[in-house]
Amino acid sequence: MGRLTTHVLDTAKGQPGQGITIEIFRLAGGHREHLGSTVTNSDGRCDTPLLEGEALTPGEYELVFHAGDYLRRQGVEAAEPRFLDVIPLRFGVADASQHYHVPLLLSPYGYSTYRGS
């Protein structure tokens, strides 16, 4: 059974990104369908997969990480508007029977992602 998971690591502090709101969207024909939202736990992970089983279908998706709110709570000083606030990550799912893990490595002035396991 396929599933979509994520986690956030604060690379500036070397710790999990706790309390970050993440929204999930399915993209199709120029439309964004909101599928749900969650908040990362104390380990920077979600308590359950974002999507799994029949809910995960081939196609394009977008995860939206509300990083600015997290950085403000961490006391990271920055000019407003912040360089990073809301981070959208778009990716494709070709085989919905597989596990797609899409983490976010975050710092106040940069981020990266990859397909993990």
Instruction: Give per-residue pLDDT as tens, 18-71.
Output: 999 999 999 999 999 999 999 999 999 999 999 999 999 999 999 999 999 999
> How many Å apart are CA 11 and CA 77, to the nearest integer?
16
pTM over 0.85: yes
Instruction: Give per-residue pLDDT as tens, 74-84.
Output: 998 888 899 99
Predicted pLDDT of residue 99: 98
Beta strands of the chain (E only): which ranges? 3-5, 8-10, 15-16, 21-28, 31-39, 51-52, 59-66, 86-93, 99-101, 104-107, 110-113
Q: How confident is the model at residue 93 (pLDDT cuts 50, 70, 90)?
A: very high
Pairing of the two strands 51-52 and 3-5: antiparallel
